[in-house]
Structure 1
């Protein structure tokens, strides 16, 4: 019997972390100097999609430990960083997640690996390229900026009415 992982019906963005770090030029340059800073920058970029669109985000890296490691930066369970155990690649994890998802079509996988992209698409997920992911995060950041500016104007009007 196949174990099913419960995945909410909302859109779930699964990111092949190492692939994106090596594909986005600004992250690739930073990666050469400081891996931790490059990973933090990737998380920051992805947080725009998470925060402005309510997208669940999971960034997956190849790990080297004995067990699967999951952390939730900022304490939000809807934004996770996964490091696979030794012997399991990020691709393996992503494929298993999509294959066991209740709604594979709600999974969006970001990778520049054509073979991986085709595999997850065959499993029912949406495959997006690193360039498509970059465009998405820019749009999301722009939408978030607009929302914040609108709230700032609204707060200003409320304060003016109170004065």
Structure 2
């Protein structure tokens, strides 16, 4: 079975002082730095990493998925929190016996 690390990207950005400082200048840059850190983490641990950013309040937002250097980056659809996406993803992984 694979190991997974699934994180709420904005919670991490707001919790880590260096990322919070960057986000005050540019949220996009803070997301990029977080993803870069998660790419390094995946490289050293070989754990599958999924970073979820919610687009809860973004009009017309649809689920967007990217794979960046082995890390899955997800932007949720409008009215979907990162937490609800993560809960469903964990259920799916458990059902598929991947975790």
1:83 paired residue number: 75
Alpha-carbon separation, structure 1, partners of 2:3 and 2:79: 28
The residue aligned with 1:46 is: 38
**Alignment TM-score, normalising by the size of structure 1:** 0.54
Distance between the aligned counterparts of 1:44 and 1:99, measured in 2? 27
1:73 aligns with 2:65: no
**Where does the alignment leave 5 or more consecutive residues of structure 2 unmatched?**
none
Secondary structure in 2 aligned to 1:45? helix
- How many aligned residue pairs are there? 94
Task: Specify the SS of the correspondent of 1:87.
Answer: coil
Q: Distance in 2 between matches of 1:32 and 1:41?
A: 13
- Consecutive unaligned residues of structure 1, counting only runs of 5 or more, are 1-8, 107-163
Using CA pairs below 8 Å that are at least 6 residues apart, which structure has the higher relative contact order? 2
Which of the residues 2, 20, 25 maps onto 1:28?
A: 20
In the superposition, the TM-score normalised over structure 2's length comes to 0.85
Q: Which residue of 2 aligns with 1:152?
A: none
Task: State the Cα deviation string for residues 70-93 of structure 1 (Å, max 9, x = none).
Answer: 01123x3xx111000001110000
- How many Å apart are 1:67 and its aligned residue? 2.1
- Give the Cα separation in 2 of the matches to 1:101 and 1:56: 12
Larger Cα Rg: Structure 1 or Structure 2? 1
Q: Residue in 1 aligned with 2:9?
A: 17
